[in-house]
Amino acid sequence: MVNLIFRSIDGSEQKVEAQPGESVMEVAKRHDIEEIVAECGGGCACATCHVFFEAEGFAVVGPPSDIESSMLDFAADPHENSRLSCQIQVEDHLDGVLILLPETQQ
Which residues lie near another protein (CB under 8 A)?
22, 26, 30, 32, 34, 39-41, 43-47, 67, 70-71, 73-74, 106
CA distance 65 to 67: 6
Q: How far is the CB of 66 from another protein (least distance, A)?
A: 9
Which of 57, 82 has the CB closer to another protein? 82
First vs last C-alpha separation in the chain: 32
Which of 4, 26 has the CB closer to another protein? 26
Q: How far is the CB of 74 from another protein (least distance, A)?
A: 3
β-bridge mates for residue 98, sequence order: 5
- CA 43, 70, 77, 62 dihedral sign is positive
Neighbours of 59 (CB within 10 A): 12
Which of 8, 54 has the CB closer to another protein? 8
